[in-house]
Amino acid sequence: MIDPKPRWDFDDPAASAERFLDAAEQAEEPERTAWLTQYVRALGLQEKYDEATKVLDGLSSDDPEAVTYLALERGRVLRSSGRPDDARPLFVLAAETAAQAGLEALHVDALHMVALVAPPEEQAALTESALAVARGSSDQRARDWDASLLNNLGMTQADAGDFQAALTTFEEALAARERIGDPATIRVARWMIGWALRNLGRRDEARAVQQALKDELVTVGEADPYVDEELALLAD
């Protein structure tokens, strides 16, 4: 199995693309195909959809992991290029293939994508189903999907106007992020809590959350326009 995570920098997909090409050049099949799907994903993040599709059209495999990646990344390209309905069957295929092969982290990834392209009224149930699979997994990489899934569930609840439920879910997401231990995503989870508090009218609490984030960012020499925007909205 390949592990793309160490080569990914989602803030710099062009550099990530180069790393995935290098990995593919050094690999044999089926790993070569799997690495090239990550190159495709990096192209998609640069909105190079035609180029990404051309690469995918030249790839094929009967290996379950590579088949899963091929379906998953073709689906992502379709979704990102504005074709979510066409993407959904590919995400379903990726989920089924991964489940049958025991690829637990890829199974949860595919399930989370199925939820993202579903109609709004289906998204919460599908995300909760994916969350149950993640929490029941024996693979830590699959279990760590709980943080992203909880964030997505909170956003679905917020979009439906239930900010109280969203706040509770965002608090669960923060606990998951703290378990995983990445400072940047922990800050995002804290921001989500502050955002939900503001939307609940709990302005003093929201301001405290965002100001703490601002102070921390200054300490580490970083800035976040979303934190600044919330503080501006919360200014007396």
Write out the DSSP string of 46-63: TT-HHHHHHHHHT----S
- Boundaries of domain holding 185: 144-236
Same-domain pairing of 55 and 116: yes
| Residue 103 sits in the same domain as residue 160 | no
pLDDT tens by residue, 36-83? 999 999 999 999 999 999 999 999 999 999 999 999 999 999 999 999
Q: What is the pLDDT of residues 89-148, one digit of tens each?
A: 999 999 999 999 999 999 999 999 999 999 999 999 999 999 999 999 999 999 999 999
Q: What is the pLDDT of residue 2?
A: 87
DSSP letter assigned to residue 183: H
26 and 128 together in one domain: yes
Among 105, 135, 165, give the residue marking a domain's end.
135
Same-domain pairing of 118 and 171: no
Q: In sequence order, what are the residues at sequence separation of 6 or more whose Cβ sits closer than 8 angstroms to the Cβ of residue 115?
A: 122, 123, 126, 127, 129, 130, 152
Q: What is the pLDDT of residue 1?
A: 80
- Is residue 23 located within the same domain as residue 100? yes
pTM: 0.93
Out of 135, 158, 185, pick the residue that ends a domain: 135
Please state the domain count of the chain.
2
One domain for residues 127 and 156? no
CA distance 100 to 68: 10
Integer Cα distance of 227 and 47 in angstroms: 27
